[in-house]
């Protein structure tokens, strides 16, 4: 369990931060950027949840996802090493990925197939979920780049890939199950 009594420690004043292993890295390190963007995704999801009062079941799913995102941040903050760590690091699991897939399938079952790309908008909840989607995609790109440079838990990358898909489907679902989607009209303003 984490205990935070003091919020500032001054240990990062030199531009570094500690990983879960205690190793210090520059705050602009790719690993730090990756899990920082996962945290940013979580913050955007908090904003989206403010607009899900009419959808308590979806809000409950988003609460579970917010917890999963902390798991993912902890996973990325604990690099995989050759030697066994002094503690059991928290890792995202394929079961968490499967739960997202099941939720995507459930929501998507209520939607008509798309005939155009969707512009972010419609309801406030949908617009915020589209923002979460785009930040999740950025996190996914950073995690993918990190995976090219360092060993990571492969389920972490799969989770972020599914999560951005989930946010897209959820945004359509809260837009009156797609009826309120704002569709792209190619060349409409030429």
Q: Within a 13 Å sphere around the CA of 41, how many CA atoms are in the beta-carbon half?
A: 33
Contact 147, 134 (CB under 8 A): no
29 φψ region: left (φ > 0), alpha (ψ -120 to 50), beta (else): beta
Mean pLDDT of 163-186: 96
Q: What is the value of pTM for the model shown?
A: 0.91
Q: Within a 13 Å sphere around the CA of 156, how many CA atoms are in the beta-carbon half?
A: 30
7-11, 99-103, 124-128, range with the lowest pLDDT: 7-11
7 φψ region: left (φ > 0), alpha (ψ -120 to 50), beta (else): alpha
CA–CA distance, 102 with 107 (Å, rounded to integer): 9
50 is written with which tokens?
A: 């403010």
pLDDT of residue 9: 74
pLDDT of residue 21: 76
Q: Which CATH superfamily is domain 23-78+91-180 in?
A: Cobalamin adenosyltransferase-like (1.20.1200.10)
| Cα angle 107-91-49, degrees, rounded to a multiple of 5 | 35
Minimal CA–CA distance to 15: which of 35, 30, 29? 29
- Residue that has been written with the tokens 């512009």 in this structure: 119
Domain boundaries, the chain: 23-78+91-180
pLDDT of residue 67: 97
pLDDT tens for 11-51 read 677 788 877 777 888 788 999 999 999 999 999 999 999 99
pLDDT of residue 6: 72
| Cα angle 60-92-75, degrees, rounded to a multiple of 5 | 115
CA–CA distance, 61 with 156 (Å, rounded to integer): 19
Q: Is 182 helix (H, G, I), strand (E, B) or coil?
A: strand
Contact 54, 42 (CB under 8 A): no
């Amino acid at each position: 369990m984490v205990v935070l009594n003091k919020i500032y420690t001054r240990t990062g004043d030199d531009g570094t931060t500690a990983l879960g292993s205690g190793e210090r890295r520059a705050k602009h390190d790719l690993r730090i950027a990756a899990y920082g963007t996962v945290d940013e995704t979580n913050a955007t999801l908090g904003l989206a949840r403010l607009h899900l009062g009419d959808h308590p079941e979806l809000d409950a799913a988003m609460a579970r996802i917010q917890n999963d995102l902390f798991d993912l941040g902890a996973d990325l903050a604990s690099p995989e090493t050759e030697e066994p760590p002094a503690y059991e690091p928290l890792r995202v699991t394929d079961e968490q990925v499967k739960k997202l897939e099941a939720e995507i399938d459930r929501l998507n079952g209520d939607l008509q197939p798309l005939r155009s790309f969707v512009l972010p908008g419609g309801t406030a909840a949908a617009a915020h979920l589209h923002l979460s989607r785009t930040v999740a995609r950025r996190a996914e790109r950073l995690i993918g780049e990190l995976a090219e440079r360092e060993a990571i838990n492969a389920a972490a990358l799969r989770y972020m890939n599914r999560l951005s898909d989930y946010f897209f489907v959820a945004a359509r679902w809260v837009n009156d199950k797609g009826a309120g989607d704002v569709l792209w009209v190619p060349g409409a303003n030429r």
